[in-house]
Amino acid sequence: MNIAIVGATGLVGRTMIRVLEERETPLTSLTLLASARSVGQVIQYNGVDHLVRELTPESFVGVDVALFSAGGALSKIYAPIAAKSGCVVIDNSSAWRMDPDVPLVVPEVNAADALLNKGIIANPNCSTIQMVVALKPISDVFGLKRVVVSTYQSPSGAGQRGLDQLQSEVRGQEPTSRITQHRLAENAVFHTIDGLGEASEEETKMIRETRRIMHLPELRMAVTCVRVPVLGGHGEAVVVETLKSCTDVDVRALLSATPGIVVMDDPAGAVYPTPFVSNNTDPVYVGRIRNDDSVENGVMLWVVADNLRKGAATNAVQILEYLMAEQ
């Protein structure tokens, strides 16, 4: 397959290239596309220099699948153009995620939805992806009644600008650009609150996307999304009320047997996953699996993943690999 990456010079775009190399995803060709100001940059793929080319309406001729990570505004314009040229778009922005004609896919949860695409498939939000991977087996066996989640997210979820603000502040310098008016260093802040409602954009995404991916449109959720000064990796404290009775032992066994999940959970040895440990790795890690005796049936989890990997690039590449396998 001929593959293109749109937004190849961004944090997620560069990670997509690394993930394609590491997984040895079989490609015929790789085209790197970006906006005019990045054109001429050279990025290596499998030891070979690849020139970054300018994204234009003609960029998709002969491309089979395009992985987009160039922001919602560009996706809105270029994803339909790419689809019209016969290319399948796997889009990492939020532009298409709630479009009923666009499947929203986490391969461990709803891979087959990808086959219903009409040219565009949406890659979910980072915080959603890692949570639904952990919730899916619990949902299948015990049923979900309500999910309360609080997140501990890296500012890298906002791209290089988020990391730049955090790292400038840590060095004691005034950031040249900001993702929030609040200080990120030594602090805990919220994602953009659009003022249209009480929830932040991130919180709204987690609720809507989780319901859509899991095919549970009525799932009851209470979500608080927080950015903490972590360079990479998101943590999530997930409190799950289930329909059927379940114990920590049941859930530990279930998740340990689930592909894509690594259980790290030994209270006596202080063994649990951290964002730092998840860095540059692909699994969804689960630890601190505990009974919740404050409800009739419930369990508590700590879910961690690298937000640029499983939360973005790796999930997109997994969708690509699924399309390759099913074609």
Q: Give me the active site residues, please.
A: 126, 234
Is the CB of 11 or the CB of 79 nearer to its own copies?
11
One of 22, 54, 99, 186 touching its own copies (CB under 8 A): 186
Please, what is the minimum distance in Å from the beta carbon of residue 152 to its own copies?
A: 4
Is the CB of 25 or the CB of 291 nearer to its own copies?
291
For residues 147 and 239, what is the distance between their CA atoms, to the nearest angstrom?
6
Sign of CA dihedral 199, 205, 207, 212: positive
One of 18, 23, 178, 290 touching its own copies (CB under 8 A): 290
201 binds its own copies (CB under 8 A): no
For residues 276 and 97, what is the distance between their CA atoms, to the nearest angstrom?
29
One of 146, 161, 178, 211 touching its own copies (CB under 8 A): 146
CA neighbours closer than 13 Å in the CB half-sphere of residue 241: 11
One of 103, 283, 298, 311 touching its own copies (CB under 8 A): 298
Please, what is the minimum distance in Å from the beta carbon of residue 145 to its own copies?
A: 10
264 binds its own copies (CB under 8 A): no
270 backbone φψ class: left, alpha, beta (φ>0; ψ -120 to 50): left
For residues 260 and 285, what is the distance between their CA atoms, to the nearest angstrom?
9
Q: Which stretch binds its own copies (CB under 8 A): 7-15, 17-25, 58-66, 293-301?
A: 293-301
Strand 298-305 versus strand 284-291 pairing type: antiparallel
Is the CB of 90 or the CB of 223 nearer to its own copies?
223
181 binds its own copies (CB under 8 A): yes
Place of tokens 């840590």: 170
Please, what is the minimum distance in Å from the beta carbon of residue 141 to its own copies?
A: 20
Nearest-5° Cα angle at 237, 200 to 316: 70
Sign of CA dihedral 258, 264, 267, 272: negative
51 binds its own copies (CB under 8 A): no
One of 197, 243, 244, 256 touching its own copies (CB under 8 A): 197
Is 85:24 a contact under the CB 8 Å cutoff? no
* Closest C-alpha to 239, from 190, 278, 288: 288
One of 45, 53, 71, 190 touching its own copies (CB under 8 A): 190
End-to-end Cα spacing for the chain = 11
Judged by the rule CB under 8 A, the positions of this chain that interact with its own copies are: 146, 148, 150, 152, 170, 180-183, 186-190, 192-193, 195, 197-199, 220-222, 224, 226, 228-232, 235, 237, 239, 248, 267-270, 272, 274-276, 288-292, 294-295, 298, 300, 302
